[in-house]
């Protein structure tokens, strides 16, 4: 019911940077964009970064200080600044959001974007 619009993926050289964005489109339900997971071919989907409503953040162990997640509440948009990218960062990055019936309403479940490809060349 909620469409998540992802942008910012692409091809960069090792050591380069990208900024991912995820925004929730209009919906009859309320959604809160939380962050990103990623999945490389043949691997499990793993946490990249999430940001809670209060601003608390969590990063995957592989991030090692290279990424920064932030939120613009007025736009219901979450940004992920990625620096010092490595070939092993190559994956499809999926935005995720929590959906509710309305403000203060019941939790309906998580929704996912279609994914944006990040490719880092050596």
For residue range 35-85, list pLDDT tens digits in order. 999 999 999 999 999 999 888 999 999 999 999 999 998 888 999 999 999
**Minimal CA–CA distance to 93: which of 104, 84, 82, 102?**
82
Give Cα separations from 77 to 16, 32, 45, 97 (angstroms).
23, 9, 22, 10
Residues 59/42/78/54 CA torsion (nearest 10 deg): -40
Burial of 120 (0-12, 13-18, 19+ CB in 10 A): buried
Question: What is the rounded average pLDDT of the residues 5-11?
Answer: 95
């Amino acid at each position: 019911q909620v469409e998540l619009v992802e942008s910012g993926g692409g091809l960069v050289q090792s050591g380069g940077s990208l900024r991912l964005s995820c925004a929730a489109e209009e919906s009859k339900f309320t959604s809160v964009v939380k962050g990103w997971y990623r999945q490389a071919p043949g691997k499990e989907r793993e946490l990249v970064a999430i940001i809670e409503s209060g601003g608390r953040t969590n990063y995957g162990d592989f991030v090692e200080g290279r990424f920064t997640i932030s939120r613009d509440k007025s736009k219901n948009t979450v940004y992920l600044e990625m620096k010092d990218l490595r070939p092993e960062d190559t994956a499809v990055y999926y935005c995720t959001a929590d959906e509710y019936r309305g403000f203060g309403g019941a939790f309906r479940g998580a929704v996912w974007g279609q994914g944006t490809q990040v490719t880092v060349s050596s």
